């Protein structure tokens, strides 16, 4: 319920900001606005000021703007109606919604750095490889434990944050890695791997140092039944000494149905228990229901640095979003990587529980996504309306209404299909 409430509030804010962009630009262009509603559905309360009725509606999922003449059947072509304005004025009104979402993202992101960012401590550490997963792209590329990553696709990297940012947004991989090995520099190419594509994010299998400390034990799983607790440090698995978390994880994943002996250090005592991993049918590997404990740090910045880092991060996210869209269109990335309403709601709830800074960052990211996606040239989206207006400008007259209706119907059908697909992806992720 908490997740649903937070998601509803955040989505409502973002859509309201979008509609406010349309509203303010319409007023600036001298277009009569009949109604500006906060929310949808039945009116709860409203007040008319001048020509505009300001309304609070029952469903708090955003809002809408109704402009005079927006419905062509009701248009009288009065000077203050939407259709009577120039193509440029109408385009500015249409574009104002997504542009407002993008502006809000650029305003929110510096606030995140000012409040402080909570992040895993290892992200600030030098990208020295501490573990290579069996059969991973990193292993196949010849990367070894102890290698220090110095460049990715020719761009220098200084910490694990740089590395994970690139890899997580490249499910298809094909990334060139330069590593420092002793006194020499070696070059390797991470090739595509089905595991990354199915997960919806890049997977390399080269990992930082991570202590084998249990952070969470899931109820109803073998680890809980065996008596393991949060805070236990795993020191042995089947009498083999453990040096990091990935060693434990890899062993458990590859031994579904086989009884294992785990030894943990709890306070000053050693506790040994037997546990049998169960097979996760969707993921196809063994699990016992434990998560690792990650050390986190909060990084804060001054006002000027917050603005610089915030704008830089917003630009980076914008370019990543555009890059992902380009690769989707060119079919270089699977549609399985996309998340829909369920995943967005889940991530919103997790961000809210993680802290105010994380929630603001996620809100900024969503606003950016909403803005960029609405610029796509698909009928029913703002970008589609801009295409109609460009065609009108070129041919000197509006498109045939029937043509526009057909195009919008096709666009709406495509949008519904996309929502169904990403929702299906979400459901699969939830069960995984």
For residue 214, the SS3 value is strand
Closest residue by Cα to residue 67 from 101, 94, 86: 94
Phi, psi dihedrals of residue 176, rounded to the nearest 5°: -90, 125
Query: In angstroms, rounded to a whole number, what is the distance separating the alpha carbons of residues 399 and 402?
Result: 8
Q: How many CA atoms lie within 13 A of 139 on its CB side?
A: 8
The pair of structure tokens assigned to 142 is: 């010849």
350 catalytic residue (yes or no): no
Q: Which member of 19, 161, 172, 268 is catalytic?
A: 19
CA distances from 194 to 184, 252, 372 (A): 31, 21, 28
User: How would DSSP label each residue in 49-79?
Assistant: ETTEEEEEEEEEEEEEEEETT-SGGG----T
Query: In angstroms, rounded to a whole number, what is the distance separating the alpha carbons of residues 173 and 203?
Result: 8
The pair of structure tokens assigned to 351 is: 């961000």
- Residues ≥6 apart with Cβ < 8 Å to 2: 349, 352, 353
Query: In angstroms, rounded to a whole number, what is the distance separating the alpha carbons of residues 202 and 137?
Result: 10
Query: In angstroms, rounded to a whole number, what is the distance separating the alpha carbons of residues 256 and 278?
Result: 5
Neighbours of 233 (CB within 10 A): 15
Instruction: Map 217-285 to HEC letters.
Output: ECCCCHHHHCCCCCCCEEEEECCEECCCHHHHHHHHHCCCCCCEEEEEEECCEEEEEEECCEEECCCCE
Query: In angstroms, rounded to a whole number, what is the distance separating the alpha carbons of residues 134 and 154?
Result: 26
What positions carry a catalytic annotation? Answer: 19
């Amino acid at each position: 319920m908490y997740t649903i409430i937070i998601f509803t509030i955040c989505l409502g804010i973002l859509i309201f900001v979008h509609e406010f962009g349309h509203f303010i630009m319409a007023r600036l262009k001298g277009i009569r606005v009949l109604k500006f509603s906060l929310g949808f559905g039945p009116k709860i309360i409203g007040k008319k000021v001048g020509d505009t009725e300001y309304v609070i509606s029952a469903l708090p999922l955003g809002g809408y703007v109704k402009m005079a003449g927006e419905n062509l059947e009701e248009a009288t072509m009065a000077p203050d109606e939407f259709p009577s304005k120039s193509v440029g004025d109408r385009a500015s009104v249409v574009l104002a919604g997504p542009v407002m979402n993008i502006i809000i993202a650029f305003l929110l992101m510096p606030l995140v750095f000012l409040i402080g960012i909570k992040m895993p401590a290892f992200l600030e550490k030098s990208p020295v490889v501490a573990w290579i997963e069996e059969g991973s792209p990193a292993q196949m590329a010849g990367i070894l434990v102890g290698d220090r990553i110095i460049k990715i696709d020719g761009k220098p990297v200084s910490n694990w944050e740089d590395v994970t940012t690139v890899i997580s947004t490249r499910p298809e991989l094909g990334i060139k890695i330069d590593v420092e090995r002793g006194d020499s520099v070696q070059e390797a190419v991470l090739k595509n791997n089905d595991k990354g594509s199915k997960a919806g994010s890049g997977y390399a299998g080269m990992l930082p140092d991570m202590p084998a400390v249990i952070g969470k034990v899931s109820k109803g799983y073998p680890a809980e039944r065996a008596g393991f607790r949060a805070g236990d440090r795993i020191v042995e698995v089947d009498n083999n000494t453990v040096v990091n978390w990935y060693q434990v994880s890899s062993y458990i994943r590859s031994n579904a149905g086989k009884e294992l002996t785990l030894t943990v250090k709890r306070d000053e005592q050693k506790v040994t228990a037997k546990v049998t991993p169960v097979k996760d049918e969707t993921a196809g590997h063994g699990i016992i229901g434990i998560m690792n404990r990650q050390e986190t740090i909060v990084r804060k910045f001054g006002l000027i640095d917050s603005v610089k880092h915030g704008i830089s991060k917003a630009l980076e996210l914008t370019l990543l979003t555009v890059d992902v869209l380009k690769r989707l269109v060119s079919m270089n990335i699977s549609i399985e990587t996309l998340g829909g309403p369920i995943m967005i709601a889940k991530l919103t709830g997790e961000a809210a529980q993680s802290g105010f800074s994380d929630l603001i960052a996620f809100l900024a990211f969503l606003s950016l996504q909403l803005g960029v996606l609405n610029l796509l040239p698909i009928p029913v989206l703002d970008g589609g309306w801009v295409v109609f207006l460009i065609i009108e400008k070129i041919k000197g007259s509006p498109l045939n209404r029937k043509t526009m209706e057909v195009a919008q119907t096709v666009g709406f059908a495509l949008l519904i299909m996309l929502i169904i697909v990403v929702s299906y992806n979400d459901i699969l992720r939830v069960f995984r």
